[in-house]
Every structure is written in C-alpha cells, then in structure tokens.
Chains A and B, each alone.
Chain A
Amino acid sequence: MSAPVSEVVVWLILGLPVASFVLIAALYPVLRRYPAPAGWIAMLAIGGSLGISVWLLMEAIGAAGRPLDFETHELVDVGSLLITIGIRLDGLTAVMTVVVTAVSLLVQVYSTGYMRGDRGYARYFAYMSLFTAAMLGLVLVDNLVVLFAFWELVGLASYLLIGFWFHKPAAAAAAKKAFLVTRAGDLGLLAALIFIWVRAGTLDIATINTEVVGAVELGLLGQTTLTLFAVGLVAGAVGKSAQFPLHIWLPDAMEGPTPVSALIHAATMVVAGVYLLGRFFPVLEASATASDLIAWIGVGTALGAGLVAVVQTDIKRVLAYSTISQIGYMMFALGTGAYAAAFFHLMTHAFFKALLFLGAGSVNHATNTFDMRRMGGLRTVMPVTYLTFVIGALSLSGVIPLAGFWSKDEILIEAWDHQPAIFAIALVASGLTAFYMFRAIVLTFHGSYRGGGQPEPGGHGGDAAHPHESSWSMRGVLVLLAVPAVAAGFLTFGGEFQTWVLGALPHPEEGHFVFDLGVFLASTIVAAAGIGGAVAIYRLRLINVAALRTGMLRPVYRALESKLYMDLLVEDWLVRRFFHGGLVKAMARVDEQGVDRALDGVWHVSFEAGRWGRLVQNGQVQMMAVALVAGGVVVWGAVVLFWA
C-alpha cells in the first residue's frame, strides 16, 4: 500500500533532533555562557518529532500495523554490494518512535530542572538530541548496515552521556566499559550482517525476513546459515540490551546523569536489542537454536539480575539490575514466541522504569546521594516523588490493574504454554522484583532520615540536611509518567496493541487479549509475597538482616554483593590478567626484543662489516652509508640481470 505520508515528513522525526544537535553545537560558544536556550531547542525538536510520531502511529493503526510503502535510496553501489537507505514504517516502528519520543520529551523537560546550573548544560542537551536522533534512526531504517550504523551511534551517545561528568574517574571508566562491552556484542551483529550478505546477497531487512527465510524453508539455503546469522543477531542484542554475560556495563553506566539513565539505560537504548530481535522475528522463529539460546539467556538474566538487585545499597543500581532483569523477560518472551507480549512489556516498562529512575533522581536532588543507607523517611517531605515512585514500583511488580501487570502476565502465560521451566524461573524472578522494589521503597522513604550525602562538585543537590521536594518541572514529569505506568496496560483489552506490532510481521495475525486465571493467581501471590516479605523484613524488622548477612547466608550475600563474580571474571581475569598481563605483554616482548632487535641486528652486522659502525651517529656518515647501500643495490641488481 502506498504511503499516505510524505517521506520527508518521516525523516523529519530524526531530522529534527539532528538539527537540534547541530544547532546547539554551532551555537556552543554562546550557549556555554547562556545555556537556557539549549534546553528549549532540544525540547522543541523532540516535541516536533513526537507530534509526527503520534500522527504516524495513527496512520499505522489505520493500516492495521502493515508496513507503509516508501521508496528506498541507493547509498553505496560497488560491484555486487548494494546498500540502500529507506524507511521501514509499520506498527512496530510506529510504537517504538512514539515510546522513544514521548519518554525523551518528558526526560528532557525533567532535565531542565535536574541539570539546572550544571556547567555542561548545553552540551548535555546536544548529546541528548544526538542520542534521540540515533535511536529514531535505528528503529526507522530498512537496511541492516544502516541499522548497524545507528546502532553504533546510539552506543556513541551512550558513551558520551555516561561519561558526561568526565571529571569523575568512575564516570570516564564506566563510559569506556559500556562502549567496549557492547561493542563485543556488536561484533556478533557485524559478523551476522557480513555473513548474510555473503551467503544471501542482501542487506534489506524485509528481504531477509521474507525471501531469505523462505529460501531456507525451500532448502535453497542451509539452515546453518540462518542459525549463524540469528546467533550473531542474538550476540548484538545481548550486548546492547545488557543480558548475561555482557550485562556488566549497565550497572556502571549509572555514573551518568540520572535522566540519562532513565531515557537511555532504562526506557530506550537498552531495549534496542529487543527491537533488533523483534525486527528479525521471522529469522528467530526459523532458528530453534537461536530461539532457545535467547530464551534461556533471557530468563537466566531475569533471575540472576533480580537476585543481585536484592543486595544493592545504591538506589540507581537496584533500578539498573531491575532493568537488566526486565529486559530478560522481553528476551525470553521473544525466545518463546511471545513477540507481541515482548513489545507490550517493552512499552509499559519504558514508562514505569523511566518514572522510577526520575524518582530516584528527585530523591538524589533532595539528599545528594544515591545510597539508600543514607536516606529514609522521605515519604513526608517528598509526597509527590513518593507516591509516583510507589505507583511505578507496583506497576513493575506486576500488581493488577497497573500496566506492568498486563504485560508481564501476558509473557508469563505464553511462557507457561511454551516451556514450563522458563515460566517457573520467571515467576521466581517476579517475586524478587516485588521484593527488591519494596525494599528500596522502605529504605528510601520510610523510617527516619539518615542524613543524606555531601554535595559533590558537579552535583545538583541542595541542602541535604533538610531534604525538600523537587522543582515543578521534575514533579510534573513524574506525575505525567505515572499515568501510562497505571493505564498503558489497558491497551491490551481489545488486543489493539498486539495487532499493531503483529502487523509488522510477514504473516500478521489479529491480536487478542489473553488472560489465564491460574497464571494471574500465581503471579499475584508471588508479587504479594515479595512486597510482604520486603515490608516484614525492612520495615517491621521481623528478621534481622545484619545477622543473616554475617551468619548463615554469608556466602550467599558475598556472592550477590560481588555481582555473582561477573565483573571479577571479565575485568580482572579476562581483561587484566589474561589479556593485558599475558597476551599483550608477551606479544610486546616479541615485538620489541624479537622482531625489532633481529631486524636491527641485520643492519648492525652490515655496518660492522663495512667498519662504519662506530660512526653511524654522525649525519654525514649516514648519508655515505645510504649511498653505499644504494650503490650495492644497483651493482647487485645489474649482476643478477646480466649474468643470467
């Protein structure tokens, strides 16, 4: 069907944030001194993108989520290589653009309050615009190479924003770690795109999903080819979406400003991996190996990250591990065939997780710390933050009738149908979710205030001794985000949401509302148990945690507090000891003392033979030596030639 929308308008979605980035960069010398317009430029641009996105969503809904037809343009045409750039606009894209632009706009409004007075205010909004543009490009394009390009660019934006406060060594280190760890996964994606091009001759996403998958079914192309391609995609998704074992970058990424964590490291960029696998869902479906792989990685990550979240003392790290865990849900949903449910959860999660992060930022403004051991009792002084945070936590814990309940339940139902073991593990993780969230709420908002932290250079806090509610721009955004955190789940009742995203598949089906009383009871009981447990332990103190920690559960605590030893394994053993200490050192020794010395030796011998050796340091003699060698060469060449 031909598009009712002009292509230029669609490109504007990402064009506006690009323009914002360029404009802020161009005006930077001025904006550095008078930063306020930077925020306005960025918000105007993203507001425009949001408007267009909503319009496009309406168009996509009108087309039942089926792709609208746009022309594609030649970018590179060399030999047999053709790289095109064009728009892929269907229900999935439309949903993603709306989620990205909506959360992005709200986060930027919040940022005008949160980042006020920061020396890098203008730079911050430039980076945020850059990120939004790259993320929108990622979900809009129709070609795998171009998608990969935007994929890397969101990584760049993430790098710049994690390291935004680059004066902090921890931030600079975290930025580097994030880039490197995700790039390790990106290698898989790069390999996948090279592989599929060499084997199947195309980089067009729709063609891969239809013709190439069809060719495999007809036996024209080996199943192994498809599986290797799918596994490459999974590797890329695992890196970007912080799944085991490449999840280690995300908790460190919390060094970035909190609105960044909300937008990039919770709501949008980290779910790019989910988007990627969803975009190539026909490929994933056609490869049982890849499906099983991502299903087990996802559910394992959901459980493991949930466990680690329980012992975190930093509120943002609780949320970070929670994000890893929740993306695990989306991943195993894709692996178990629950495509629509995965994206439903992606959407609801984007809203309530952004809400929770921004709530944590609000708390940080009041207390100058993210350490929950220094918080407590904020319920009374920060009522808006408290209430919205609780709403977010309830939604995340899957309490009916909030948004998180509907999306999580749908995933659980499909998991139960597909693989009961995955369902069981996911159910445990679900209980953990409720537990760690309410542990965080109790530690942060209940009890008595424990003093807050010291203001740090570049920090934004006020007087931590007397915490106060945050500015209207921050509170307002919290309230606005609480609305979808409550109500976004209602989109499932007529199966509308599912219909939109299913329309993106080659063989779309009608979405429908699923409900299962058994799963509902199980998940509700588990959530209630988690909440009750947290309140009992941390609020009512029915169990002495400190005693447990030093007593019976000491090894468990130690393992969890060491993040299940993953950082140790990768950073210390793999990178520091094996790579730097072993491989690099050994090869450098070979290079310096083997190769270089040996070659130097050759010259040395020839000089000694000519008795010029001792005079080599003298410039005149050097030229004579050169002349000598040159002469020798000519004579030798002549001899070879004419003797023969």
Chain B
Amino acid sequence: MGEGFPILSILVFLPLAGALLIALLPGQRVPWPAAAVRALPGNQQAHAKWIALAVAFATLVIALVLFVLFDRADSGFQFTDTFLWISAQDAGFDVSYAFGVDGLSMPLVLLTGLLTTIAVLISWRIDVRPKEYFAWLLVLETSVLGVFTSLDLIFFFIFWELELLPMFFLISVWGSGRRSYSAMKFVLFTFFGSAFMLVGFLVMGVVAGTFDMREIQESALAGAVLPVPAIFAFIFLAFGIKLPLVPVHTWLPDAHTDAPTAASVMLAGVLLKMGGYGILRLLFTLMPETAAAADVALAILAAVSIIYGAVITVRQTDLKRLVAYSSVSHMGFVLLGVAGLGVVGMSGAAMQLVTHGLITGMLFVVVGMIYDRTHTRQISAMRGLAHYLPLLSTMLVFAGLAGLGLPALAGFVSEVTVFLGAFGRHEPQTAVALVGVLLAAGYVLWALQRSVFGPRDERWRELQDVRAWWEFLPLGALVSLIVLLGVYPSVVLDVFELGVRPIAEGIAVFQPDIVESEALEVARLGRGG
C-alpha cells in the first residue's frame, strides 16, 4: 500500500457508494434503464442483495488485507489518510479529515467487515422493500467503520450520529413487535448521550485548538469552560449508554428484540463495541489522569452491570431477549478490564469486544434462523428442537457454550484476561464479577434445556434444518473464528496489545503503581526466562 493511497477512505465509503448504487436501482415500475438491468437474470430485488453482498464482501476483503499488511511492530496509526478540512484559526480550531487505524481499531474494522457480510447473507430472504433494506445496511457499515477509523473528533461525532439513521429505519420498518417504540427509544437514548458527547468534544476542541485526537493533551484542557472531570463524565455518558451500562441499558433489550435479525447482529456485534472503543480511544487516551482517578468508580459500575445484567437475563422467557440482556452483562466485562488500567486488562477488554461480537452475533443469527422456522421466540413454546433441527440446535448449543465462556472458544480468553487484568486493582469488584460467569452458565443452560432438548414435538416435524448456502456460510465462518480465537488468541490479542500499550503507558504516568501481577523474583526465575 503506497504512501498516500487513500485506502481507508475507500474502505469507509465503499459501502456508502454501494448503498447509493442500490438506491439508484430501478424500482419495480420505473422504466428507464430497466431495460438493461432486466436483461439480467433474476428480479430487481435480487440485484439489490447481490450488490450488497458484493460490496460488503469487497469491504471485508479490504479490511482483511489491511489486517494482514498491518505492521505488528508499530504502535502508532497506520494507513493514515489526512488533510486539513476546516482551518478556523481565527476561531481557534482546526478540523481535519483524518483516518487511520492502530492496534486497537484494526481488529474492530475487520469485525465490522465480517459481521456486515454476515448480516447481508442472513437477510437473503428479506422481501419487504429489499432495496432500501440493503442500502441502509451498507450505510450502517460506513458509519461504524467511520467511527472506528476517524482520528478527528468532529468526524467521529458525525459517523457516530450517522449510525442512528439506518438503525432507526431498520428497526422501525423491518422490525417486529413494538418496533416503532423500540426504534424511537434507541434513537432517543443515543441522542441523549450524543448531546453530552458533543458538548464535551466542542469544549475539548476549542480549548485545544484542534479536533485531531492525536494532538489533544489533557494538560491543555485545564483552561476549558468545563472542568476536565466534567468533560470526561459527559463523554462517558454517551459511551456508557452505547455499551450499555446499568442503569441506562433499557433501550437495548427492546431495540434488539424488535429489530430484524441482521440489525440485531449489527447492533450487538459492532454498534455496542463503539462504546467500549470510545472509552479506550477517547477517554483513556485523551484524559488519562482523570481516567486513572475514576478507576474504582468504573469498576463498580462494571461489576454492577455484570451481575445486574446476568440476573435479569435469568428471568427472560423470550430467547432473543435473553440473548439481548446477556449483552449487558458481557459488555460489563469490557469496562471491568478497562478499569484495570493496565495492558492485560485493556487487552482483555478489547478482546472481549471482538469475542462478544462474534459470539452474540452468532447467537442472534441462530435465534433468527430458529424463529424463521418455528415462528416463535418463546422458550416455553419450544422444546426438543434437536430432534428435527439437529444442525441448527448444535449451533445454538455451540454459541451458547461460547457465551458462557467455555474454554477453547473465544469468550473464555477475553474473560480470563479481563479478570487477570482487573483483579490486582479491584479485588472486590472482580470477585463479584466472577459470579457473573456462574450466572451466565445458568441462563444459557436453562434456555438450552428447554428449547433444544426434551421430548420430540410433532409440531416441528415439517421443519427444514439448515440447507441454504447463505445460511451455511455465516455459521461456518462464525464457528471457525470462535474456535480459532479460543485456541490461538494471539492472532488478535497481540494486535490489541499493540493498540492499548500506549494508552496504558499514558495512564501509568499518573498511576505509577499499576502492577497487574506482582511477579515475584522467584517466579520470574521459575519461568526459565
């Protein structure tokens, strides 16, 4: 990749271009270029989904190439793509168009590419306004990729807000249940947080004279109209809602449950990750002193989320809602790891972003496929699915076991790393959080026992197990990756370490006593090192 080649701009805007292309496709009754397009096999709807698949896959390939080319010795931003966009030195600030990826964002970009492709595949049978549906899905991808790659606060904010639009439509048009209510709730919660975030950004940018996050220093924020802890709290609110943390989590179960499957996958798989990413990228990088001082409070919030989320999950009777609620608990681990303030904890937290994305993404995929067949999500209405849907049931068991942190699967690695990284600083909080692991086993196994196992039920006799290629592909990819990361986590963990090391070093300036492991001299000798 030559210097100056705008590969990240291409990556980010390719899905948007795809969306535009789909939007320009002729509608059912529009005659003009239709003659040419209609000469192709299939119908108009098919073009929309094929274009979406091609674009999403191309984006995934670019992300994969970047991941492979990524220099694993360089902890700075790579593939950067920058020019000054607004120079308002009279008013005292610059806004630059700047994209770049580092160890923290690179795996998340790849995750986004993967899950979007999967989201397109599992939507293959969408027949309500498919053009718009696939277009929105691609717009969503652009917005999320933009968040993960923007190096400028203004762009970060724009992409952060852009995500609302496709999500709102995806839930309210293609959703189910109380979809309007849920879509609205999602938008309002996010907006509420964004308002505070914008204030925080503006204060920071104006006082620092730039919105480039590579140049903002915490020391420079001292003279701002708001005290630094207030800026921190404002921005944290937005990320906390997104993550989500208790008590601002209530949008999540509604939005997830009523969203179409693909939107749930995107929501759980990548949108929630923007919260955890933001905390590390903006709060802990730009305001390390405040972050270091807030660690105890953050760890308490995390422990509360983990336990509260898990306990509420136990009570859910709707399979999809159960998966949704479990995210509250699992995303609490992200904050717990971050609050550990060291390389191990933060790497674990970042890893949890990816593993949760894959595992919960897979859970939503499988639950969606089950719902497509049984037309119910009530656990009490299912039983003995394994008799007639053996493969799909196996997939549900697999994803469930991954969700409860079974070793050799991805979730175990990130959870253990988080625990190891957090325990040294936050013994009581981490000890409490450990119970979450048991609760997770409780709700997962309870749900499996009632839905998959049990006597044969004649109602499911006619159901078809997984047959289509667009169902096999996502399942196969997710299973492989969950096993790969469980058995050989370094492939991603090492990249994350590269990304969080500078953050941890920044914090260590203010908390020199961070020792994740007391690493006795004798123990070091014993390692044979």
Contacts and interface: CB of A to CB of B under 8 A. Distances in A.
Nearest to A84: B527
B78 interface: no
A191 B250 contact: no
Contact of A167 (B187, B202, B384): B384
B325 to A, nearest CB: 9
B423 A148 contact: no
B419 interface: yes
Contacts of A78: 343-344, 347, 417, 493-494, 497
Contacts of A585: 315
B408 interface: yes
Interface in B355-388: 384, 386-387
A150 B452 contact: no
A509 interface: no
B199 A201 contact: no
Question: Interface majority SS on B: helix, strand, loop or mixed?
Answer: helix
Given A187-B435, A201-B524, A617 B180 contact: yes
Given A167-B456, A194-B423, A200-B518, A207 B490 contact: no
Given A172-B454, A207-B523, A637 B199 contact: yes
A202 to B, nearest CB: 4
A194 B401 CA distance: 22
A264 B311 CA distance: 32
B449 interface: yes
B455 interface: yes
Interface string A138-174: 0000000100111011001001000100111101110
Nearest to A215: B522
Contacts of A629: 188, 191
Contact of B441 (A180, A201, A207): A180
A198 interface: yes
Interface in B295-316: 308, 311-312, 314-315
Contacts of B453: 163, 166-167, 169, 171-172, 175
Interface in A591-634: 591, 595-596, 599-600, 603, 616-617, 619, 622, 625-626, 629-630, 632-634
Interface in B133-170: 164, 168
B256 to A, nearest CB: 14
A190 interface: yes
A79 B347 contact: yes
Contacts of B311: 583-584, 587-588
A72 B529 CA distance: 12
B420 interface: yes
Contact of B430 (A82, A169, A183, A194): A194
Interface residues of A, number: 80
B407 interface: yes
Contacts of A200: 517-520, 523
A641 B526 CA distance: 58
Given A180-B442, A204-B527, A212 B199 contact: no
Contacts of A202: 519-520, 523-524, 526-527
Contact of A211 (B435, B488, B493, B520): B520
B489 interface: yes
B248 A591 contact: no
B184 interface: yes
Contacts of A221: 520
B513 to A, nearest CB: 14
A6 interface: no
Interface string A211-238: 1101100001100000000000000000
Which of B430, B434, B442, B501 counts the most chain A CB atoms within 10 A? B442
A77 B438 contact: no
Interface string A78-122: 111110000000000000000000000000000000000000000
A195 B515 CA distance: 13
A11 interface: no
Contact of B420 (A198, A210, A599, A625): A198
Contacts of B413: 76
B344 A641 contact: no
Nearest to B200: A637
Nearest to B516: A80
Contacts of B101: none
A75 interface: yes
B406 interface: yes
A220 B520 CA distance: 9
A81 B344 contact: yes
Given A172-B449, A616-B184, A629-B188, A81 B526 contact: no
B452 A641 contact: no
Contacts of A148: 407
Given A78-B417, A172-B449, A587 B184 contact: no
A644 B315 CA distance: 48
Given A76-B493, A169-B455, A640-B225, A82 B420 contact: no
B405 to A, nearest CB: 8
Contact of A633 (B198, B446, B520, B528): B198
7 contacts: A80-B342, A172-B454, A175-B449, A198-B420, A603-B188, A617-B180, A637-B202
CB-CB nearest 5 A-B residue pairs: A79-B343, A201-B519, A207-B526, A149-B407, A644-B225
Interface of B: 164, 168, 172, 180, 183-185, 187-189, 191, 194-195, 198-199, 202-203, 206, 225, 246-248, 250, 308, 311-312, 314-315, 342-344, 347, 384, 386-387, 401, 406-408, 412-413, 416-417, 419-421, 423-424, 430-431, 434-435, 437-438, 441-442, 445-446, 448-449, 452-456, 488-490, 493-494, 497, 501, 504, 515-520, 522-528
Given A81-B417, A198-B420, 4 more contacts: A76-B493, A207-B527, A211-B526, A588-B312
